[in-house]
Amino acid sequence: MKLPLIRFRGRRGYSLMELTLAMGLGMTIAMLLMAIFNQQLAFLKIFNVQSFLTTEAPIINNYMSRVLGSAEGYQLYSSVSAFTSSATPVLADAPVLVLKFKEPGGNFRYSVLSFEDPGSGAGRGLYFRHITAAGTLGAPDWALSKKPTDVKFSITEGILRARITGPNGEEITYSGTQQL
């Protein structure tokens, strides 16, 4: 006995099962991509929060180590104007550090490391200045960093400490040398 051939006319479209499978696979891939994207955003946020600690802090540390190690002495002032008006030095919470350096000829020169906004659109930052031979404070020579939101120098038991607060609230404390 010969079975009759059943011929299907051309298929038009997909079955419900095929459509369900394709949509489920597409949704799974979309969810995985969203999870990877959210993870990358979280890593970027962590990196941005720690960028001050990984980029600026080592530069500040290098500078502070070299300069404070070669200074003969230092004094702290509550502001740049307090220093220029010959006010009494302070021992804590000072944004201005005056450094004394001995020259090879036996003379002394002075420099200032201050957290301030020196004007002229420079913005708030940690600036280095020289004090001229006439005893006047020069314009900022350069900015050590403009990223900190606060810098406070203090003297604790004769040890110079610099507490630097980063843009995301992170705090770094450097300890220097004893005052001579």
Domain residue limits, the chain: 74-178
Closest CA to 74 of 108, 49, 104: 108
pLDDT band at 72 (very low <50, low <70, confident <90, very high): confident
Residue 100 has pLDDT above 80, yes or no: yes
How many percent of the chain have pLDDT more than 70? 92
Residue 164 exposed, middle or buried by CB count within 10 Å (0-12, 13-18, 19+): buried
Question: Which pTM was predicted?
Answer: 0.71
Report the pLDDT value the prediction gives residue 178, as an integer from 0 to 100: 57
pLDDT of residue 24: 96
Report the SS3 class of residue 57.
helix
Structure confidence at residue 150 (pLDDT)? 92
